[in-house]
């Protein structure tokens, strides 16, 4: 499959998910907060994300040593991070409904992980 075709398909999929995210924000009246940078909710959340980040680098190093695909490890990390963020947002700031967007991010990451696994030349 030519790389140009794959790039066009991935861009179209990203645009579709971007529009779906905008629709979710409008439909559920989600408060996104200010700015583009994600901010931790509390110290437990910050410590949990730091621990996940350190574990990601350890698993990535081990994966490279044992010949696992770094791309798959990165997508799994993004899914675990999204689930952790969704849980923390649901538990501590449920009224903002930001956990819906975090779960949507997990679904998007899962979709791309399946696409990555389905394309044997990426593994």
pLDDT digits (tens, 9 = 90+) for 41-63: 999 999 999 999 999 999 999 99
Q: How confident is the model at residue 123 (pLDDT cuts 50, 70, 90)?
A: very low
pLDDT attached to residue 120: 65
- Sign of the CA dihedral running 26, 18, 105, 39: negative
- The Cα-based distances of 54 to 65, 67, 111 in angstroms read 17, 20, 25
- Statement: residue 119 has pLDDT above 90: no
Specify the pLDDT at position 85. Answer: 95
Cα 32 to Cα 115: distance, rounded to the nearest angstrom: 28
Q: Is the per-residue pLDDT at 2 higher than 80?
A: no
- Joined tokens for residue 59: 């698993």
State the pTM of this model. Answer: 0.84
DSSP code string of 43-99: HHHHHHHHHHHHHHHHHHHHHHHTT--HHHHHHHHHHHHHHHHHHHHHHH-GGGTHH
Phi–psi pair at 37, nearest 5 degrees? -80, 135
* Least confident window among 13-17, 27-31, 56-60, 116-120: 116-120
Dist CA 38 CA 34 (whole Å):
9
The dihedral of CA 2, 123, 118, 16: what is its sign?
A: negative
């Amino acid at each position: 499959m030519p790389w140009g075709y794959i790039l066009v398909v991935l861009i179209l999929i990203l645009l579709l998910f971007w529009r779906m995210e905008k629709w979710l924000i409008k439909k559920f009246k989600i408060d996104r907060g200010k700015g583009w940078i994600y901010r931790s909710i509390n110290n437990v959340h910050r410590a949990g994300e730091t621990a996940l980040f350190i574990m990601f680098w350890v698993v990535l190093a081990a994966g490279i040593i044992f010949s696992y695909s770094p791309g798959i490890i990165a997508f799994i990390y993004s899914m675990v991070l999204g689930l952790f963020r969704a849980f923390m947002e649901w538990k501590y700031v449920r009224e903002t409904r930001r956990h819906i967007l975090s779960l949507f991010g997990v679904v998007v990451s899962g979709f791309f992980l399946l696409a990555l696994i389905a394309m044997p030349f990426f593994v």
